[in-house]
Amino acid sequence: MVRRRQNSVHSADTACPCGRGIPLGECCGVFLAGRSAPTAEQLMRSRYTAFVLGDVDYLRRTWHPSTRPARLDLDPGQHWTGLEILHTTGGGFLHAEGTVEFRAHWTHAGVSDSMHEHSRFVRENGDWLYLDADGGR
d(CA 114, CA 104): 5
Segment 39-58, tens digit of pLDDT = 999 999 999 999 999 999 99
The closest of 128, 127, 63, 133 to 104, measured between CA atoms, is 133
Reduced to 3 states, what is the DSSP secondary structure of residue 76?
Answer: coil
What is the pLDDT, as a whole number, of residue 30? 97
Residues of the chain short of pLDDT 70, as ranges, are 1-10, 135-137
The amino acid at 66: S
Domains of the chain and CATH, by start: 11-134 (3.10.450.50)
What is the pLDDT, as a whole number, of residue 135? 61
The closest of 10, 55, 40, 42 to 133, measured between CA atoms, is 40
d(CA 93, CA 107): 34
